[in-house]
Structure 1
Amino acid sequence: MAEAKSDVCFQGKTALVTGVGKGIGRAIAVRLAALGVKVYGISRTQSDLDELRQEVASIGTRMVDIADWDATRKIVQDLGPIDLLVNNAGITNWTGFLDVTKQELDNMHDINFKAAFNISQVVAQGMVSRGTGGSIVNISSVAGQRAVPNHTCYCTAKAALDMLTMTLAYELGPHKIRVNSVNPTIVLTTLGRKGWSDPVKKANAIKKIPIGRLAEEEDVVEAAVFLLSDRASMINGALLPVDGGMIISCV
């Protein structure tokens, strides 16, 4: 019988996490640093990066708007070898389909999809050239697989991100690079708690979740860390729902 694995081990690993200014991205970066990973974090807001460095001085931070294709590529290339990548940065809106502007559509797909494509390409090129493999985790959403009212831009961007996960897993797998996604329901980050503070709105959302609650940041962090780790060494191309069963609900 094979010996059971204990704690996850990231010895000697370097990670890049996008959207580390707040919420899930920040929590993932802090957790990885606590596990001994050399972490680089990207955000477009310098004050958020400064706060993160005050919390964990070892995290290397870079300010860039990841919607800027060329500037982002240069920053990622200058970081050097990356073993673990978490494409977390994302935005959303509540504009109904009939009122969506071209600018809104472009912004949603530039940040939620194209930036992950761009950054993954740079990181994966390095992984392939070094021949050391690696792991990429995309923070997606159940909205990539379920229609959500007034979320046409967001749902289509996350659906594109999910397909990117699967196609990269297929193409990069032979290079020992695993690509997976975490697909949460509503997550109670600081922003999430404000957005779902109305008890009726929150109760209506919970009705769709068999387990009877919304997700916490920690739920997503744990899933992401697991997929990044060698414990998930045979998991590739998975879209991991962190949704309490929402994806299987007919409500």
Structure 2
Amino acid sequence: MSEGAQSLPMQGKTALVSGAGKGIGRATAQLLARRGAQVVAVARTQADLDSLAAETGCRVIRADLADPVAARAAMEEAGVCDYLVNCAGTNVLQSLLEMTDDGYEAVMGINLRAALILSQDFARRRIAAGGGGAIVNVTSIAGHRGFDQHLCYAASKAGLEGATRVMARELGPHGIRVNAVAPTITLTELAAAAWADPAKSDPMRVRHASGRFAEVEEVAHAIVALLSDDMAMTTGAVLPVDGGFLAL
């Protein structure tokens, strides 16, 4: 049976997706909309939001989540939601010896602080509404393995996984589940260009049992699965979406 012919398991639910303009966030917003959810899409680029709204009928909020004030204002505008996907992310390629204050702030501000702010505001509203709901944080295999020039990125993603476990423990009594997905290299538009050189991509690709990198839709399906009631007993988990990379 095609997906369009199936029931809408998330009808009546509202899902906020940060970083929804491109890549994994956009694919997640599209999938949630197809499953019947009302999507609240948060991103920095208005054109991306406009095209997503035209495609899915989602609500849109333009915000630079690197700014804590803007992040909280976005959550205030969003109101009470049932699901939160922290997908907004960035990277500045710097080694330990090259790290700058600006690079550190840019990466940690989006990848970690913004996710914590959105999760805090989401949880406060869910608890005030009687509890329940789910959060999925998007981390990375870079939080598990060392990659050159990924110092702050790795720190931010490993930090978000630690925060995922703390949130799961603290929010569990309120019926709020918190999990994470840790994707491998995922073929967003930018990543596809970055890994186009076989001399660079081939040595990395063979480290995957699947022999390939991930597609954005594959990560989106894992995120939506963790949000769903089918995973009611799963919280505090980090699910690798990595084609077996971490197993080898």
TM-score in same-fold range (> 0.5): yes
Distance verdict in 2 for CA 1:7–1:182, change over 3 Å:
farther
Specify the code of the residue in structure 1 equivalent to 2:212. R
Residue 213 (1) aligns with residue 212 (2) = yes
Distance verdict in 2 for CA 1:12–1:189, change over 3 Å:
same
Specify the code of the residue in structure 1 equivalent to 2:128. S
User: How many residues were matched structurally?
Assistant: 243
Query: In structure 1, what is the Cα distance between the partners aligned to 2:147 and 2:108?
Result: 17
Is the 1:8–1:229 contact (alpha carbons within 8 Å) kept by the matching residues of 2?
no
Query: In structure 2, what is the Cα distance between the partners aligned to 1:233 and 1:81?
Result: 20
Is the 2:140–2:183 contact (alpha carbons within 8 Å) kept by the matching residues of 1?
yes
Matched with 2:60 is 61
Residue 153 (1) aligns with residue 119 (2) = no
CA-to-aligned-CA distance 1:165-207 (integer Å, 9 cap, x gap): 1100010011110000010100011211111111121111112
Q: Give the deviation of 1:7 after TM superposition.
A: 6.1
Is the 2:139–2:161 contact (alpha carbons within 8 Å) kept by the matching residues of 1?
yes
- Larger mean Cα displacement after TM superposition, 45-54 or 24-33: 45-54
Query: In structure 2, what is the Cα distance between the partners aligned to 1:29 and 1:157?
Result: 23
Matched with 1:3 is none
Matched with 2:184 is 185
Query: In structure 1, what is the Cα distance between the partners aligned to 2:62 and 2:11?
Result: 26
Is the 1:8–1:231 contact (alpha carbons within 8 Å) kept by the matching residues of 2?
no
CA-to-aligned-CA distance 1:49-84 (integer Å, 9 cap, x gap): 12212222x100111100111122122122221100
Name the SS for the 2:97 alignment partner: helix
Query: In structure 2, what is the Cα distance between the partners aligned to 1:88 and 1:198?
Result: 26
Q: Identity, % of aligned pairs?
A: 44
Query: In structure 1, what is the Cα distance between the partners aligned to 2:7 and 2:131?
Result: 22
Q: Which runs of 4+ in 1 moved over 3 A?
A: none
Q: Give the deviation of 1:217 after TM superposition.
A: 0.8
Is the 2:31–2:221 contact (alpha carbons within 8 Å) kept by the matching residues of 1?
no
Q: Give the deviation of 1:88 after TM superposition.
A: 0.1
Specify the code of the residue in structure 1 equivalent to 2:11. Q
Is the 2:164–2:178 contact (alpha carbons within 8 Å) kept by the matching residues of 1?
yes
Residue 19 (1) aligns with residue 19 (2) = yes
Is the 1:144–1:156 contact (alpha carbons within 8 Å) kept by the matching residues of 2?
yes
Structure 1: which 5+ residue stretches go unaligned?
Answer: 1-5
RMSD of aligned alpha carbons: 1.2
Matched with 1:44 is 44
- Larger mean Cα displacement after TM superposition, 7-16 or 159-168: 7-16
Structure 2: which 5+ residue stretches go unaligned?
Answer: 1-5
Distance verdict in 2 for CA 1:167–1:197, change over 3 Å:
same
Residue 118 (1) aligns with residue 117 (2) = yes
TM-score, normalised on structure 1?
A: 0.94
Name the SS for the 1:97 alignment partner: coil
Matched with 1:108 is 107
Query: In structure 2, what is the Cα distance between the partners aligned to 1:79 and 1:215?
Result: 30
* Matches for 1:238-249 after TM superposition, within 5 Å: 238-249=237-248
